[in-house]
Structure 1
Amino acid sequence: MKGRPAVAALVLLLGLAGCPSSGDGVIALEGATLIDGSGGEPVRDALVLVKQRHIQAVARVNEIPVPRGARVVNLIGKTIIPGLIDAHAHVERWAAERYLVWGVTTVRDLGASSTDSAIALKNDFDLGSVLGPRMLTSGAMIDGTPPTYPTATAVRTAAEARRAVDLRAVAGADHVKIYTKFTADLLRPLLDEATTLRLPVAAHLGKIDALTAARAGVASLEHMAGVVAAASRDPGPYFRAHDQFLRGWTTEEIGWATLDSASLARTARALAATHVAIVPTLVMHEMLSRLDNPTLLSRPGMEDVPASAASVRDVAGLLRRTGWRNADLQAFRRSRARQNQFVREFKRAGGLIAAGSDAANQLVVPGLSLHEELSLLVAAGLTPVEAIAAATRKGAEVLRADSLGRVAAGKVADLVVLDANPAANIAATRRISWVMLRGRILYPDSLRRTWTK
């Protein structure tokens, strides 16, 4: 009888020895400066605990214990930011890993060549059969008649607009995108159906002004399209120009320079009051204004783009199709100051700005160009921390994805570790040490080496 307690104690000890320690599977990131995506001030000497693809805890070093057995990663001298969200992309399969090496862990795909192909790629990313960012997609665009692109769904009636939304919901789309020839009379039925099915509507406008669309209930305005018409005394010429896509785009792009400061500020305030989000894609406007600059095809980061990627590299083809000459590009450049002013006024009015690139497009590079967008947002008047929030928390708000965009307990473990602090210089977001996607550490240089094989 006397030996039984000793035997029981031995069995207990052996059992405990076989149990995993509390730190098994935990990654402890220690000592970095943390910019958590909230828009608040950076936190020095941060501790971030990651387990099972999620952030378990966030604190200062020594404020909470690191679980015994955790994998500790010393990040003194580094900066952590949330995984970046590109809120306006056109995702191509070749670009999947390019997003990741640039710290873009989530993309909002707007306007795929087909709904089925977009859903298939999204599923490949989600299942891990293809390494790539988390992807939310609209599938093919919904346009008026005739559609600008043959892959878009053309709608003429309220019933057709509702059906187009229904088909995307059944296929598994995350949101809906309307395009430049979509008309105001079809907004209400489309928005009613999208609201019923809980699908946010993104709008690249042509024949509807931004205020009309925002007041009707679209979730986001892409490229700031429709703002010029909203700020103009007579929007009719802009609407009529959009009978033909390139003529409409050119007329609107040049039209920014004709606006005065007061009308821009008034329009920005009115739009902010509707709570619509703006995804300005300044980098797309900037690159279109500089298509005559051949050095942009060899700027740092272009080496990530395959020679076969005509969507990014074929500048000459775009110039042939559009017929744009130096005078047009100079006019585009004159408009850039007013576009920046609108962003600044919209921010001042409390509007939600999300960062998007419009990649892949001519000179607009998947991954890289989101960092260029951040620099342009800062040049337009955002602080570096606000610009980072535009590419993290604000992007998550546009996606209606509460688990993304912040480094906070309970959020998905999508992080970027930087070699410098972008709060001091936004260009530091490009100095990426490594990326964490769903709790998995990825090294950009290792991924890049596989592309040359």
Structure 2
Amino acid sequence: MADNVLAVKGGRLIDGTGGPPIDNAVILIQDGRFKAVGDVRQIPVPRDAEVVDASGKSVLPGFIDGHGHLEDFHGELYLHLGITTCCTINTFQDGPWTRAQKEGTALGKIKGPRIFMSGRAIGGERVRPEGASDSRTVRGNIVVRTAEEARRAVRRKWELGCDQIKLNEFLSFDLVKVIVEEAHGLGMPVITHSVDAIQSSNAGVDSIEHIWAIGNTTILYPPARMQLHNDRLAGKIDQEIVCSYYQTENYGPIIDAMVRNQTAWTPTLAKWLRPLSCYADRFRARENEILNNPKNGLPASVRGVTDNAYDKLFMRYTPEQRDRARIGLEKAYEFIRRFVAAGGRLKEGSDPPRGMAALLVHEAMAMDVEAGVPPMVAIQAATLNAAKAYRKDKDLGSVEVGKIADLCIVDGDPLKDIWATQNVKLVVMDGKVIDPAFTGYRNPIPAFYAYQTIPGDLEISPLSVVQGTGPTTLRVRGKGMWPFHRVMLKKEFGSLFNLNATELPTKYISRQELEAVIAPELVMEAGTYTVTVKAEGEVLPESNRAHLIVNFRQ
């Protein structure tokens, strides 16, 4: 045995293959890969090896987030929760920032998981449903209309260093087939949104995302199907309730097609419906433990979106609405049970921001078990199944000789209590031992866009004040306000961003309104002032501007 061997010994190995656990396991790692795996009777530990004692703990493959949306503060959070690979689906830009994160992580310059990226989704043209924002239906998609445009878009992504292709739900069956053929020829998997999961599966995609892709497909009358989909996009039907409309008697053909074609599926239920889970109290306790850690490095908006899931269901919903949501959750659970029982490839992912990235993966695994999935299969959903869906299973997803050495060492036995997966004590990534504790880490290449949607056009009242008067209550109206939004005031009319702005004391009124207070000393000079909204803790991203006129005192 050569030098520089890492030996992980004494733990109970759940290797991700679905085989029985190995008690008192020994795992030898060299040059970043697994060199030997077995029990203590089979594998001698070299005398000069670095030893990690995992006695009394469970050892699992490093987890994979199969549906991520990477942010600049996610890296340490992922490692804290044992996730060593993030398959990120970009939204608004084609990857220069994400590519920098991917390369920086690979070089060891940025702390975080291994990154596989898609860049912007490729999609078809779609008229925006009435009431839906551009971001909910277009999201910066690369629109293709012909087979040649589709092939060119795929090749361009490959040239840019993308690892997978993401599609939206507005492409024709023929164009999806063209994209799949081109992508697979380049070794790239295809991940898709869908309003017809059977067609998407038959077109050869590797994974279908979200419960609504399944639910839409159960509505057999096409106009009714698209109406339900458009109503969800426009916010006329909440995502928490839409599952209650699905027709469970039509699950069979969907399952048959996806199993036959080995199409993976990612439910992403936890982001919306985890407050209704039997694990909800444990979810909430762990969320608060992370949010209250002063070294977590998370912006205030993470608490806002995490809390919102519970506030919406238990403070803003009526009992009747909650009952509809529970009906929908059980319908989703029924599909999960039947899909897995038929041999379907269940894959899990965070799909933030309606919750906490990384932790949502563990919450999703717990909800899979609640649905009736064996714990071993739930673990595979965030390890080997995710690796297979992204065509990375030769290197990742299980603890087998020759694969990249990623491990997650946890307290407890997740085969007895699936929630033990989040109780991470040590991480190994690329054969290197990582302490998962928070340190307050800051990403050296921060993102240049807002983590949460910033309201667009603002309206303010009053429109003018007299210099040196006040305090003045300023009402700021716009779409998409959150409790973590702050009103900013600056005199340098036309200057960029919030660099010279003053943050005003801000009160959240509703999703359409904030209230702020302008002290007299902030308007001592007459002039044109700008008013913007930003998220607490973020510097650069800001809303469009409103203008406050400060008149001369008579």
Measured in 2, the distance between the counterparts of 1:408 and 1:209 equals: 36
Secondary structure in structure 1 of the residue aligned to 2:360: helix
Q: Name the counterpart of 1:276.
A: 263
Q: Name the counterpart of 1:7.
A: none
Gaps of 5+ in 1: 1-21
Measured in 2, the distance between the counterparts of 1:374 and 1:104 equals: 13
Measured in 1, the distance between the counterparts of 2:140 and 2:439 equals: 32
Question: Does 2:356 match 1:365?
Answer: yes
Contact 2:216 2:229 (C-alpha < 8 Å) held by counterparts = no
Q: Name the counterpart of 1:332.
A: 325
Contact 2:216 2:228 (C-alpha < 8 Å) held by counterparts = no
Of 434, 458, 471 in structure 2, the residue corresponding to residue 442 of structure 1 is 434
Secondary structure in structure 1 of the residue aligned to 2:10: strand
Q: Name the counterpart of 1:91.
A: 70
Measured in 1, the distance between the counterparts of 2:213 and 2:412 equals: 38
Q: How many Å apart are 1:314 and its aligned residue? A: 4.0
Q: 2:158 corresponds to which letter in structure 1?
A: A
Residues 143 and 329 from structure 1, CA distance in 2 versus in 1: closer, same or farther, beyond 3 angstroms? farther
Measured in 2, the distance between the counterparts of 1:439 and 1:311 equals: 31
Q: Name the counterpart of 1:141.
A: 121
Question: Does 2:58 match 1:66?
Answer: no
Measured in 2, the distance between the counterparts of 1:62 and 1:23 equals: 20
Q: Name the counterpart of 1:120.
A: 100
Contact 1:288 1:332 (C-alpha < 8 Å) held by counterparts = no
Deviations 1:185-206 (Å, cap 9, x if unpaired)? Answer: 532332232233232111112x
Secondary structure in structure 2 of the residue aligned to 1:339: helix
Contact 1:265 1:342 (C-alpha < 8 Å) held by counterparts = no
Q: 1:192 corresponds to which letter in structure 2?
A: E
Measured in 2, the distance between the counterparts of 1:213 and 1:288 equals: 31
Higher relative contact order (CA 8 A, sep 6+): 1
Secondary structure in structure 2 of the residue aligned to 1:418: strand
Q: 2:244 corresponds to which letter in structure 1?
A: A
Measured in 2, the distance between the counterparts of 1:158 and 1:311 equals: 41
Q: Name the counterpart of 1:18.
A: none
Q: Name the counterpart of 2:372.
A: 381
Deviations 1:143-167 (Å, cap 9, x if unpaired)? Answer: 2225624522223333332222222
Of 218, 222, 232 in structure 2, the residue corresponding to residue 235 of structure 1 is 222
Measured in 1, the distance between the counterparts of 2:246 and 2:237 equals: 15
Q: Name the counterpart of 1:213.
A: 200
Q: Name the counterpart of 1:262.
A: 249
Q: Name the counterpart of 1:196.
A: 185
| Identity level (%) | 31
Residues 85 and 99 from structure 1, CA distance in 2 versus in 1: closer, same or farther, beyond 3 angstroms? same
Q: How many Å apart are 1:382 and its aligned residue? A: 1.4
* More strand by percentage: 2
Q: How many Å apart are 1:301 and its aligned residue? A: 2.9
Moved more, 398-407 or 219-228: 219-228
Deviations 1:66-98 (Å, cap 9, x if unpaired)? Answer: 222112232221111010011011011111111
Measured in 2, the distance between the counterparts of 1:119 and 1:424 equals: 39
Measured in 2, the distance between the counterparts of 1:311 and 1:186 equals: 37
1:43-62 paired onto structure 2 within 5 Å: 43-62=22-41
Contact 1:242 1:248 (C-alpha < 8 Å) held by counterparts = no
Q: 1:28 corresponds to which letter in structure 2?
A: A
Contact 2:408 2:427 (C-alpha < 8 Å) held by counterparts = yes
Of 343, 351, 354 in structure 2, the residue corresponding to residue 350 of structure 1 is 343
1:279-294 paired onto structure 2 within 5 Å: 279-287=266-274
Contact 1:23 1:68 (C-alpha < 8 Å) held by counterparts = no
Instruction: Give TM-score scaled by structure 1 length.
Output: 0.84
Contact 2:346 2:385 (C-alpha < 8 Å) held by counterparts = yes
Q: How many Å apart are 1:392 and its aligned residue? A: 1.0
Contact 1:56 1:409 (C-alpha < 8 Å) held by counterparts = yes
Moved more, 27-36 or 221-230: 221-230
Of 411, 416, 426 in structure 2, the residue corresponding to residue 424 of structure 1 is 416
Q: How many Å apart are 1:46 and its aligned residue? A: 0.6
